[in-house]
Every structure is written in C-alpha cells, then in structure tokens.
Amino acid sequence: MEADPGAPRLQNVAVHPLMPALQREAHARPFDTLGAPLALSHFALYTAGAGKEVEQAQLVGLCRRLGVAEPAPEDGNCIIETSDFKLRWERHTEFSSYTVLVTDPARLPFAERALDRLPPGWVDGLPGELISALHLALVPGDEDPVSGGNAGRWFDTKSLAASLCAGDAASVWTDFRPDEEGFVRILVVASDLTPNQGGRLIRRLVELETYRMMALLGLPLAREVAPSITGMEEKLGELADHIATVDNPERERDLLGSLLDLSAHVERLMARTNFRFGATQAYGRLMTRRVQALREQRQEGYSTIDEFMARRMAPALDTCVYMQDRLERLSKRLSRTANLLRTRVDVALEEQNRDLLESMNRRTKLQLRLQETVEGLSVVILSYYTVSLIGHAAKGLKAAGLQVPVELVTGASIPVVLLAVGVAIHVVRRRLGSGADE
C-alpha cells in the first residue's frame, strides 16, 4: 500500500534521545532456535553490580582470541558464536549469566559438558561468585533415555520432578539437586518440539533456575535477623508496660531515650534488609511467571515443577516476606509508642506550667498587697518629711524677724499635706495602671 502524499510527516519532529535504546530493549534478548540434540551449560556469577571492567576485558579477550566481533562497552548482552560452540552473555542488576550451547554433543546425556568447549582457564578470570549453575541436555524423542525407569541414572528419584511442557511437545526431568561441582541437571526430551519452541522452553528453564537461586538469597538473611527482631519486639513490650507506671519526668526521659535507641536499631536493620527482601519478592515473581510459561501437564507418578516450587520455594519466600512485614510493623509500633510517651511528657509539662503560673499569680497578688501596704506607709513618710520641711521653713521665717506661729503653721499643714500626697500617689498609680493595660 502506497503512502498518501498528503499525509503528515515527522521528519521535523525531535526524537527523544532514549527512544532508540527503548526500542532495542524489547529485542535485546531474543530466544534462540534450538533443536535436538543439544548440550547446554549455564552459570550465573553474583557480582552485586561490580567488576564490569574485568568482565568486559574477559569478553573482549575471548572475542579477539576467537576472531569474532567484540561487544561494545555499553552493551549488556552479546552472543559469541564459533563453529564449536555458542556463548551468550547477559549482565543483570546483581549478576551476570553465561550460557554455552553445543549442537553436536555426545549422544549420551550429560556425557559431555558444553562448558568444556570454552578455552581452558577463561572462566577462572571472570569476576563474581557462583550463585546458579546447570547442565541441560536436549535429546530427540526417539532416544528417550528415561523411558523404562532409567531416570535414576542421572537424578535422585526421591525428589524428581517431571512434566509435559509446551503443549505436550516435550517432557522435562530434573531433581534440582547439584552435583559434586554444584551444577543442577535438567533433561528435556523433545517428542514434537519445533526449534522455536525449544528455544523458548530452554530459555525459561534456565531463567527459572537462576531466579530460584537469586530468590533464595534472602532466606539466610531472614533467619539471621529473626532473633534480633524477636528481641526488639520483647524490648518494646517491656517499655510499653513501663509507660503505664512511670511517675517522674526523669524516668520518662529515660524511657524516651530507650525508645529512640530501639527505633534507630530497627531503622538500621530495615536499611540492611529492605533491598534483599524486596529483591527476593521480585525474583520470586519472575520465577513464578517462568513456571507458568512452561504450560505444564502432569506425568503420572511424578511431581510437576510447579508443585516442587510450591513445596520447597514458597515457604522460603514467605519467610522473607514475613520478616519484612515484622520489621515494618515493629517500626510502626515504635512510632506509636514514642508518640504516646511524648504525649504523656507534654501533658506533664503542661501540668507543671499550670502549677507554675498559679504560683506566679499567688506571688503577684502578695506583691500587690505588699505594694499597697508600702504605698500607705509612703504617704505617711512623705507627709512627715513634707511637714518637717514646712516647720523648718516657718522657723526660718521667724528667725528672719517675721511673726510666724511655727507650731500653728506646722500643725495646720499636716492634714493638707496628707491629702495632697495621697491624691498625688493615687493619680500616679492610675496612670501607671492604664499604661500597663495598653
């Protein structure tokens, strides 16, 4: 269909800088087309995001040694293919995975490890710690090696899981038990499996084992912190009991300090465990999706992979979730208890402030009464000195030759002076009182 010449064009529209990378991401890890016979070795190295330079150098060195294209420094995955083997490398958040595929293996399953096709010593230079490893054999249906009860040759029949997958096109056998080198064995018998189906099925089985081990990383941490969480819960219960009986401010301050110390301990523990427990839940969800994508059907006499995961993995994942929930509930209880104690301290402070204000009011009233008494005495004292000054003035006038009755003038001035002084002090008090009110 030809494009309409009048249709709007986007040549002049700016392209978001992340658009090409986001488009490539959807096709970054395509499924391989795999048919029987096939030998596969897969291992994941836990790096916690470190060692990228060493990892890149190892891959570049291998590519140069084999004469193939090198991955770019920003690449998170690549495929190195030769006539002898194919190596798929993928970098994830916490780990890097390596998958070696061999299309011409020995006829007997697990008789040849695909890993042995890599150059000697190359794996030893990779950074990280081994967290997941498996050997997988894909065999044709007409060479079914487990028919007739021969599964015990490669697997522990007590923990063997087997199911029909991909719409009955293949059967999958595994016991999820590592061998002496730490590798789990998975056998896939292809009865009617197309190469596209084989690539998807094997990819899901490989990812299932990797995510299973990554999800289990949280279990040892959950067991480690369980006693600490129990101890902190008991400590919080004791502190809560003391709050009801404390009866002095000093003890309240001690309790509040203990609560703050306990809260800091809880926050440190949450900071240490939140990422791991959150990652455990994320890996657990990925693992569940991979199991569902297998489209399993039961093989009589054996547990399915889904049943194995439900019986062995679900309790471990639930333990991590439970420990994370306990920490969060403990943090909330600590916050409520601290708020309760702070409220109690605030109420006690308010009572103390009220008592202090009442005491200040009583003292103010006493001071006012004392002031009124002093003011009465002040009228007498001021009047006394004023009358004395008048008497001295009259004596001076008499000494100057004037006929002044000193005693009469002095006596007559007493009521006048008392009244004048009293009125003056009253006026001053009223002015001072009105100024204070303003």
Question: Please, is 434 exposed, middle or buried when counting C-beta atoms within 10 Å of its C-beta (0-12, 13-18, 19+)?
Answer: exposed
Residues 127 and 153 both lie in one domain:
yes
Tokens of 195: 């190469």
Tokens of 211: 């995510």
Residues 275 and 413 both lie in one domain:
no
Dihedral, CA atoms, 282, 288, 294, 297, nearest 10 degrees? 180
Intra-chain end-to-end CA distance of the chain, in Å: 91
Sign of CA dihedral 201, 203, 204, 208: positive
Backbone angles phi, psi at 67, to 5 degrees: 75, 35
Q: Report pLDDT for 253.
A: 78
Residues 347 and 377 both lie in one domain:
no
Q: Report pLDDT for 8.
A: 53
Backbone angles phi, psi at 141, to 5 degrees: -65, -30
Q: Look at residues 355, 390, 413 and tell me which one is the last residue of a structural domain.
A: 355
Exposure string of 122-134, with b = 16+ CB inside 10 Å and e = fewer, is: ebeebbbebbbbb
Q: Report pLDDT for 215.
A: 94
Radius of gyration of the chain (CA): 46
CA separation, residue 148 to residues 153, 156, 177, 286 (Å) = 11, 16, 22, 35
Task: Give the number of other Cβ atoms within 10 Å of residue 339's Cβ.
Answer: 11
E strands present in 21-85: 38-46, 77-81
Peptide bond into 71 cis (omega under 30): no
Please give the DSSP secondary-structure letter assigned to residue 157.
G
Residues 299 and 258 both lie in one domain:
yes
Residue 102 pairs in a beta bridge with: 39
Residues 325 and 176 both lie in one domain:
no
Q: Report pLDDT for 243.
A: 77
| Number of domains within the chain | 3
Q: Is residue 425 part of a domain?
A: yes
Domain assignment of residue 291, given as a range: 218-355
Strand order through the sheet with 95-102: 77-81, 86-91, 95-102, 38-46, 129-140, 184-190, 170-178, 161-165, 297-298
Residue with structure tokens 């003391």?
A: 242
Q: Is residue 392 part of a domain?
A: yes
Residues 159 and 235 both lie in one domain:
no
Sign of CA dihedral 355, 361, 362, 363: positive
Q: Is residue 209 part of a domain?
A: no
Residues 150 and 245 both lie in one domain:
no
Residue 412 pairs in a beta bridge with: none
3-state secondary structure of 129: strand
Q: Report pLDDT for 1.
A: 45
Question: Please, is 114 exposed, middle or buried when counting C-beta atoms within 10 Å of its C-beta (0-12, 13-18, 19+)?
Answer: buried
Residues 231 and 284 both lie in one domain:
yes
Q: Is residue 9 part of a domain?
A: no
Residues 62 and 195 both lie in one domain:
yes
Distance CA 345, CA 151 (A): 71
Residues 64 and 179 both lie in one domain:
yes
Residues 65 and 170 both lie in one domain:
yes
Task: Give the number of other Cβ atoms within 10 Å of residue 306's Cβ.
Answer: 16
Residues 223 and 194 both lie in one domain:
no
Q: Is residue 332 part of a domain?
A: yes
Q: Is residue 316 part of a domain?
A: yes
Q: Is residue 207 part of a domain?
A: no
Q: Look at residues 202, 234, 266 and tell me which one is the last residue of a structural domain.
A: 202
Q: Report pLDDT for 154.
A: 85
Residues 154/162, Cβ–Cβ less than 8 Å: no
Please give the DSSP secondary-structure letter assigned to residue 141.
G
Tokens of 136: 């997988």
Q: Report pLDDT for 90.
A: 93
Residue with structure tokens 């203990």?
A: 258
Q: Is residue 208 part of a domain?
A: no
Exposure string of 135-158, with b = 16+ CB inside 10 Å and e = fewer, is: bbbbbeeeeebbeeeebeebbeee
Please give the DSSP secondary-structure letter assigned to residue 84.
S
Q: Report pLDDT for 404.
A: 72
In this structure, the strands spanning 161-165 and 297-298 are: antiparallel
Q: Look at residues 355, 375, 400 and tell me which one is the last residue of a structural domain.
A: 355
Tokens of 317: 């994942």
Q: Report pLDDT for 5.
A: 53
The residue type at 362: R
Distance CA 205, CA 186 (A): 8
Give one DSSP letter per residue of 263-303, joined into a string. Answer: HHHHHHHHHHHHHHHHHHHHHHHHHHHHHHHT--EEPTTSB
Q: What residues of the chain score a pLDDT lower than 50?
A: 1
3-state secondary structure of 387: helix
Task: Tell me the average pLDDT of the chain.
Answer: 85
Backbone angles phi, psi at 82, to 5 degrees: -130, 180
